[in-house]
Structure 1
Amino acid sequence: MKQSETATHGRRAVIELREKILSGELQGGTRLFEVPLAELLDISRTPVREALSRLTEEGLLDRLPSGGFVVRRFGFSDVIDAIELRGVMEGMAARLAAERGVETEAIEKISETVRLLDDCFGEKLDEVDFDAYSELNERFHHQLAALSGSEMIRREVERASSLPFASPSAFLPDRADIASFRRSLRGAQEQHRLMVAAIAAREGSRAEAIAREHARTARRNLEYILAEDPGMISKVRGLAFIRH
């Protein structure tokens, strides 16, 4: 098999297996082996092996000492810890950016992203272009991590954000169409604006505090679903494999 074809199959395997895990089709504790998965996906073992290693790095799988892999079990406390960890890492990135100073061009780029995010909101309080917001929100957080000027910090922010429920767009309304979630995005957007302003003003402590509070949006959305509308669990990507 050509190297490019192997890479293509590997990406497809990662996407398909990740989706099966997040949808709950492959539940926590399920053991996974290369040969059956290769047959299921109709590809060779090499891209399956690479996909399993990638999903292990993302934290969705654990490697078994005896061979093979197992789908990780996640509890509510694990999710909360992951969200808090992302907040800590992004807060550190924001503080370092403010204290070390950022090139004007970098501030202009992230400010432009904030402006484009503004355009995602309509006149009504809960009117939001979710698809555009989600894409631009991810861009903002990548730019924020890079502003620290530290490749180590950038990598750790990306690592902390890699699990679906800890990512910047975790539990955003999407197809769930929860009006209160959509309205909360306006508050999150204001935090984007305040973060950039604090970094530009070299206010490290303020930038860090805003970034840490901002990360908790995912926690509040999760708590709303579990406490107020548990019927949404099956409709929000990633919740199916969290033990409640």
Structure 2
Amino acid sequence: MSAVPVRSRQVLMPSDEGGSQAVKAQQRLRELILAGQLASGARIAELALVDLLGVSRTPIRAALMRLEQEGLLQALPGGGYAVRTFSEREVGDAIELRGTLEGLAARLAAERGVSRVSLAQARDCLDQIDRVLQDPSLSDEMFSEYVQLNARFHRLLADMPGSEVLSREIERAASLPFASPSGFVGVQVNNAPARDMLVVAQHQHRQVLDAIERREAGRAEALMREHSRIARHNMQLAVRDPQATAMPGVQLIRQT
């Protein structure tokens, strides 16, 4: 198997302790993979990455191991790693897993009750999302703000049951390739009908929070699981829309 030809433009990274360098290398490698600059299926050349990232092989190897744990890389029988591709079913299963866990979090939050402070924080986050969605053009700046606020709301919800175990598992599920709450939101920027799904998703946010506050556990869980299906719908749009190929990582998903 041939080595991946890595582009020659050097990206210098600040010197730091080995652990910090590994994290930075991991972040940069993830960006390269999702941007399609490391071709899927071909062996990744460590030495080329050393030149590209400006760090030693030790943090590079640690970063590659972590990306394998995330699922973006696969270990090769003869040693080394290659970029993975994913079927629509695999991505859909990852999204479904996150939705199931978030549904459990919503149900437990409703059953156990949530403090007024936590509810107020969640409402404030949703108020900020409402303000973002008032811009009909959804500019790049607004889109970036939406993604950050959407992620914050989902984190707040995951913490509501007061279960470190559940919060950790939701975070782990959301870190699977393409499974984050905003993993395919980008397809809505250039697709007017799909963009309306942002408004639908925000309505679902409000309904879930209302169900949690009213202690309606079954309703809260069902709404949150339904909410995750928007991400699956957006994934299907992304892999079939030629204009969506610029979205990070779409080229790694195989149509079924």
TM-score strictly above 0.5: yes
Offset, 1:18: 0.8
Coordinate RMSD, CA, aligned: 2.3
Tell me the number of residue pairs that the alignment of Structure 1 and Structure 2 aligns.
240
2:109 aligns with one of 94, 97, 114: 97
Q: Show the counterpart of 1:218.
A: 231
Q: Show the counterpart of 1:46.
A: 58
Q: TM-score, normalised by structure 1?
A: 0.89
Structure 1 residues without counterparts, runs of 5 or longer: none
Per-residue CA deviations over 1:11-38 (Å, capped at 9, x if unaligned) read: 3311221122112232332223544422
Structure 1 residue runs of 4+, over 4 Å off?
A: none
* Cα separation, partners in 2 of 1:123 and 1:159, compared to 1, 3 Å: closer
Per-residue CA deviations over 1:38-78 (Å, capped at 9, x if unaligned) read: 23322101211221122122211233454322322211111
Q: Show the counterpart of 1:232.
A: 243
Structure 2 residues without counterparts, runs of 5 or longer: 1-13
Q: Show the counterpart of 1:207.
A: 220
Offset, 1:172: 1.0
Matched to 2:121, the amino acid is K
Per-residue CA deviations over 1:93-151 (Å, capped at 9, x if unaligned) read: 11111111112211111111111111112275x65732221110010011111112111
* Mapping 1:1-244, distance limit 5 Å: 4-64=16-76, 66-122=78-134, 124=136, 129-173=142-186, 176-227=189-240, 230-244=241-255
Question: Identity rate of aligned residues, in percent?
Answer: 45
Q: Which has the higher contact order (CA 8 A, sep 6+)?
A: 1
* Cα separation, partners in 2 of 1:156 and 1:121, compared to 1, 3 Å: same
Greater Cα shift, 184-193 or 23-32: 23-32
* Cα separation, partners in 2 of 1:175 and 1:86, compared to 1, 3 Å: closer
Offset, 1:7: 4.1
Q: Distance in 2 between matches of 1:36 and 1:123?
A: 43
Equivalent pair of 2:91/2:177 in contact (CA under 8 Å): no
Matched to 1:241, the amino acid is L
Q: Distance in 1 between matches of 2:102 and 2:131?
A: 24
Matched to 1:193, the amino acid is R
